[in-house]
Chain A
Amino acid sequence: MAGKPKLHYFNARGRMEPIRWLLAAAGVEFEEQFLESAEDLEKLKNDGYLMFQQVPMVEIDGMKLVQSRAILNYIASKYDLYGKDIKERALIDMYTEGMADLYEMILLLPLCRPEEKDTKIALIQEKTKNRYFPAFEKVLKSHEQDYLVGNKLSRADIQLVELLYFVEELDPSLISSFPLLQALKTRISNLPTLKKFLQPGSPRKPPTNAKSVEEARKIFKF
């Protein structure tokens, strides 16, 4: 029997969290090896485990995968969460790439200088309300189906709902004028595998705090 996938990262959301969500949604149990010091990262590098000297890295099916997109693409394909053909995949990719752009802005917020923080938050709020949420609301409205693509659960739904929770932690009011997004969030959150993941005690990581940022600075030396 194949071993469980093993995730190598530090004990925080960062760039590994979408991977945790996707595996969890697919009902796949996984192990995690947490980097706790700069030496832990050096060891992974020296052992030749990190193709471009970076994490996330996921050991799966005999491979050591790096680059979060490559990892997400692989998991999505393997667990049939990537549409039924290349045209559906193109739509899924277009949507998830847009999500990744917004996600990245929120992800990097804890790392910005204090004097820049308010400006960055305002920018995130503006883009969420005027660019990203309207786009996804429009997609759902256009076909009135339960899922973003092909009337079937895909990574696009899972990744969008993760993003909705992420945005909600920043500003819960932003979703208020998007009824279809709210309905999607409820619906996807109630899928048995995700319902379990959203409960305490799951591998889901808590919001990033100052302590996490300090730990990351120590491990990744920035």
Chain B
Amino acid sequence: MAAKPKLYYFHGRGRMESIRWLLAAAGVEFEEEFLETREQYEKLQKDGCLLFGQVPLVEVDGMMLTQTRAILSYLAAKFNFYGKDLKERVRIDMYVDGTLDLMAMIMLAPFQRPEEKQETLASVIQKAKARYFPVFEKILKDHGEDFLVGNKFSWADIQMLEAILMVEELNASVLSDFPLLKAFKTRISNIPTIKKFLQPGSQRKPPPDAHYVDLVSNILQF
């Protein structure tokens, strides 16, 4: 029997959260080793586990995979969340790259100086409402299907829900002009594996707090 995937990261969302979502959506149990000290991090580097000296690291199927997108693409393909052919895959890639761009801004904000942070978060809301959400609302409107690509649940849907929830944490009414995205959010949240992940006690991580920011800054030394 294959070992469970093992995730190495801090006890927080950061760049690992999208990976947790994908595993959870696939109904795959995974283990986590949380980095709490600089020493632990340096040990991982010295042991040669981190190709570029960085986390996220996911141990899966005999590989030590780093680089968030490499990990996500591998898991998406492995769990059949990557479309049925090349044309569907490129659409999924375009959509997830868009949402990853948006989520990356949110992820970096807590590490910025207060004035920059405010600007970033305002920009996130503005971009979500003017650039990203309209695109996905139109995609859903044009094909009238339940899922973003190929009438089938894919990585694009998982990532879209993750992005919606993250932006809503910043501004609860951000979906007010997007009825199809609202319905999409409800529908995807009710998929059994996702529903389970959204409940307390799952491996989903909370938004970053000051303690998390301090911990990461200390371990990564910036």
A52 in contact with B131 (CB, 8 Å):
yes
Residues of chain A lying within 8 A (CB to CB) of residue B74: 86-87, 89-90, 93
Most buried by A among B52, B53, B89: B52
**CB of B61 within 8 A of chain A?**
yes
Q: Which residues of chain B from 39 to 89 have a CB within 8 Å of any chain A CB? A: 51-53, 61, 63, 65-71, 73-74, 77-78, 86-87, 89
Q: Nearest-CB distance from A128 to chain B (Å)?
A: 12
Q: Give Cα distance in the complex from A78 to B65, angstroms.
A: 24
**15 further contact pairs, Cβ within 8 A, besides A73-B89, A93-B70:** A51-B135, A52-B131, A63-B87, A63-B90, A67-B94, A67-B98, A70-B94, A73-B93, A78-B86, A86-B78, A87-B74, A90-B73, A91-B63, A93-B74, A94-B51
**CB of B97 within 8 A of chain A?**
yes
B135 in contact with A93 (CB, 8 Å):
no
Residues of chain B lying within 8 A (CB to CB) of residue A86: 74, 77-78
Given the contacts A86-B78, A132-B52, A74 and B90 also touching, CB distance less than 8 Å: yes
Q: Nearest-CB distance from A195 to chain B (Å)?
A: 29
**CB of B153 within 8 A of chain A?**
no
Query: Which single member of A51, A66, A87, A131 contacts B63 (CB below 8 Å)?
Result: A87
Query: Which single member of A66, A94, A101, A132 contacts B94 (CB below 8 Å)?
Result: A66
Query: Which single member of B61, B69, B73, B132 contacts A52 (CB below 8 Å)?
Result: B132
Q: Nearest-CB distance from A77 to chain B (Å)?
A: 5
| Total A residues in contact with B, Cβ cutoff 8 Å | 29
- Size bracket of the B interface: 20 to 34
Q: Give Cα distance in the complex from A90 to B53, angstroms.
A: 17
A73 in contact with B51 (CB, 8 Å):
no
Residues of chain A lying within 8 A (CB to CB) of residue B71: 90
Chain B contact residues, majority secondary structure: helix
A90 in contact with B89 (CB, 8 Å):
no
B70 in contact with A74 (CB, 8 Å):
no
Taken residue by residue from 90 to 118, chain B's Cβ proximity to chain A (1 for < 8 Å, 0 otherwise) reads as 10011001100100000000000000000
Q: Give Cα distance in the complex from A25 to B91, angstroms.
A: 24
Please name the residue on chain A nearest to B52 by beta carbon: A98
Given the contacts A52-B131, A74-B90, A87-B63, A97 and B97 also touching, CB distance less than 8 Å: no
Please name the residue on chain A nearest to B58 by beta carbon: A90
Given the contacts A52-B98, A78-B86, A97 and B69 also touching, CB distance less than 8 Å: yes
**CB of A152 within 8 A of chain B?**
no
Please name the residue on chain A nearest to B66 by beta carbon: A94
**CB of A124 within 8 A of chain B?**
no
Please name the residue on chain B nearest to A48 by beta carbon: B138
Q: Nearest-CB distance from B152 to chain A (Å)?
A: 18
B90 in contact with A70 (CB, 8 Å):
yes
Residues of chain B lying within 8 A (CB to CB) of residue A51: 94, 98, 135
Q: Give Cα distance in the complex from A66 to B96, angstroms.
A: 12
Q: Give Cα distance in the complex from A70 to B93, angstroms.
A: 5
